[in-house]
């Protein structure tokens, strides 16, 4: 099924790009039909039968389609434990972060997300990894996503976090990880990040 999801995403991107740059009315009609086919494929692969929901999530953009960008802040304490936050959406744990905002740099985004979700003011200083979500054991997603992991130096604990998207924070080592929100981060990715913490000269990992 993951293969069908990948094909659906590629067809949707081609259709959207065709709708953006196409001029001939018959070509535009075919691109719209391709987009509908991509939604049907996504429905078959995901089990979501409501095509209007899928179209809103998966095929609602205009312009040239590019991958979405997910930015995660990586903070280690003096005991080499990693900062995680508990997501209200599924009561599972993840690195602080989320979709990149328009007009906000990757560095600014990492600092913003860490402070909002954990209350820690941090200084981002190193890109640890840039991963293509489809190459990692995440649950199926309607989006093609690049995940950027930014190591941050903790400056101070300013407040308890806004508790809009997360409700708890904690520092964990690799041996006592809580249940992870695998839509957002996987254990194999955390292992790579821990390796960066113990080997600061390690080069940036990327797919």
What are the pLDDT digits (tens) for 149-159? 999 999 998 88
**The total number of structural domains that make up the chain:** 2
Task: Indicate if 178 and 85 belong to the same structural domain.
Answer: yes
Task: Indicate if 93 and 120 belong to the same structural domain.
Answer: yes
Task: Indicate if 54 and 129 belong to the same structural domain.
Answer: no
Task: Indicate if 79 and 152 belong to the same structural domain.
Answer: yes
Position 56 confidence tier, pLDDT thresholds 50, 70, 90: low
Domain span at residue 117 reads 68-206
Task: Indicate if 93 and 29 belong to the same structural domain.
Answer: no
Task: Indicate if 175 and 88 belong to the same structural domain.
Answer: yes
* Per-residue pLDDT reduced to its tens digit, 113-122: 999 999 999 9
Task: Indicate if 88 and 49 belong to the same structural domain.
Answer: no
Distance from C-alpha of 139 to C-alpha of 102, rounded to nearest angstrom: 26
- Is it the case that residue 197 has pLDDT exceeding 80? yes
Strand, coil or helix: what is 110? helix
């Amino acid at each position: 099924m993951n293969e069908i999801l990948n094909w659906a995403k590629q067809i949707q991107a081609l259709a959207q790009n065709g709708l953006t740059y196409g001029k001939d009315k018959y070509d535009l009609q075919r691109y719209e039909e391709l987009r509908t086919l991509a939604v049907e494929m996504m429905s078959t692969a995901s089990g979501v039968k409501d095509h209007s929901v899928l179209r809103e999530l998966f095929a609602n953009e205009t312009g040239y389609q590019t991958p979405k960008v997910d930015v995660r802040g990586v903070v280690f304490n003096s005991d080499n434990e990693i900062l995680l936050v508990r997501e209200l959406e599924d009561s599972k744990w993840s690195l602080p972060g989320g979709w990149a905002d328009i007009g906000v740099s990757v560095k600014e985004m990492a600092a913003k997300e860490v402070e909002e979700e954990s209350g820690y003011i941090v200084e981002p200083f190193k890109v640890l990894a840039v991963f293509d979500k489809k190459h990692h054991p995440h649950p199926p997603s309607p989006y093609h996503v690049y995940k950027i992991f930014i190591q941050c130096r903790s400056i101070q604990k300013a407040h308890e976090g806004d508790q809009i998207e997360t409700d708890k924070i904690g520092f964990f080592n690799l041996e006592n990880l809580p249940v992870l929100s695998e839509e957002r981060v996987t254990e194999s990715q955390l292992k790579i990040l821990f390796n960066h913490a113990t080997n600061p000269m390690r080069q940036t990992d990327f797919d």
